[in-house]
Amino acid sequence: MDFKYSKKYFSATGLIAKIGVGILVVGIVLFIIIAIALHPFQAIFLAGWPIIGGVIMMIFGSSGNMSDAEFDEQPVKMTARIIDKVMKKFDIEDKHVKMIDPIILSGYDFKADPEYLYKKGNDGKYRSNHHITAVMLFGPQQMYLYVYQINLTDENNPDSEIMGKYRYTDLSDVSIVNKSVTVKMKEKDEKIDFSIFELKKNGGEILVSAPSQNDAIIDGKISDINKYILKVKKQAETQE
């Protein structure tokens, strides 16, 4: 991964391209005015240069900047076939984790932290230089948790991972929590609203806090997990 290129995604202002757009607009307006007042050929000669110059500046100003799609592609590549990777790390097979379908949560992490860089893309989506992918696999009596954290702009500390096995009797529940954070972007305060998936132990300790969508699909998965945790706990109580 090209960390310098990724960092440029947050620092590039696109000023040259914006100036090019302005010059292009002025050139088009001049062309229309001159074509109406004088002659189209004169308009081409007098207004053609700013139009050409504006286009060149737009192309030059946009070249070398990472697009939103290119930036999103990086964590996707780094987490390809992650379930296979997790099962290998835990030394388990697919047949061992069939109680509930595996869950993969993936998204950008948002914190009011000086090390975090932020940008609002052309698609209106907020992105940071920190990305989290969490994988949960569900065996009969315990859950396997793997969290992979990526820093997309730090080549010295590009990633880290957390692994753990947790018995359902030690777990409390899972839920979606809506949060917001105010961060600096282009010297302005901007509020980012987001949702996170939280898994807690009986004492309230949060085992995983990962970016998540908040919709009917994730609600169904949360219901399945909470029901299974409760089922295992009741079974354990009857055996005591």
Is residue 206 a contact partner of residue 200, using CB atoms and an 8 Å limit? yes
Do 34 and 90 sit in the same domain of this protein? no
pLDDT of residue 60: 55
| Predicted structure pTM score | 0.77
For 35-61, the DSSP string reads HHHT-HHHHHHHHHHHHHHHHHHHHHH
Domain count, the chain: 2
pLDDT of residue 11: 73
Do 174 and 224 sit in the same domain of this protein? yes
- pLDDT (tens digit per residue) in 166-222: 999 999 999 999 999 998 887 788 899 999 999 999 988 998 889 998 888 889 999
pLDDT of residue 182: 93
Domain around 206: 68-239
**pLDDT-flagged residues of the chain (< 50):** 63
Do 53 and 116 sit in the same domain of this protein? no
Do 148 and 177 sit in the same domain of this protein? yes
